[in-house]
Amino acid sequence: GFEQAGFKTIWANEFDQSIWDTFQFNFPDTTLVTNSIVNVDSASIPDADGIIGGPPCQSWSEAGAGRGINDERGKLFYEYVRVLKDKKPKFFLAENVSGILLPRHKTAFNAIIHSFNSIGYNVWWSLLNASNYSVPQDRKRVIIIGFRKDLNINYLYPSPSLRIKPLRESVE
């Protein structure tokens, strides 16, 4: 989606080996680092206008154990914050499953939002359904957007299109 909007993906980090081949097929010119983000020095990440990411959702999923921030994967949000603090891009986008908004995760979610704010970002979040934005799937995700405070941006989420574009035309 970001490439369709005119951005170029120059660097990526993915620890899950089952994703590597598909990622490299779709982004052949992008550097893919396969170490855990915990072991990635921010200095090795190229400077960019924005950083997009989605720390693992298993910790927050309604279908999972729901350990949230008490799970090692849930704590990876703080690695995302570390990279943002070190790199200081103009913006970031983080996404995760709707389960992160469950009452049992409220304290942790608020702490994550506060962390983004405390490192210099104005932050907005919303639960959005991809099907409302011309994406042919019914998928709810929490989208967190932050802009560096010095840019004085007041972000507004786009209005839902409520129109799904067909994947292909059909003939009767």
Q: Just list the catalytic residues.
A: 57
Q: Given CA atoms 67, 13, 89, 134 in this order, what sign does their dihedral have?
A: negative
Contact indicator for 121, 83 with CB cutoff of 8 Å: no
Question: What does the H/E/C string look like for the chain?
Answer: CCCCCCCCCCEEECCCHHHHHHHHHHCCCCEEECCCHHHCCHHHCCCCCEEEECCCCCCCCCCCCCCHHHCCCCCHHHHHHHHHHHHCCCEEEEEEEHHHHCHHHHHHHHHHHHHHHHCCEEEEEEEEEHHHHCCCCCCEEEEEEEEEHHHCCCCCCCCCCCCCCCCCCCCC
Q: Using CA atoms, how far apart are residues 117 and 123, in angstroms rounded to an integer?
A: 6
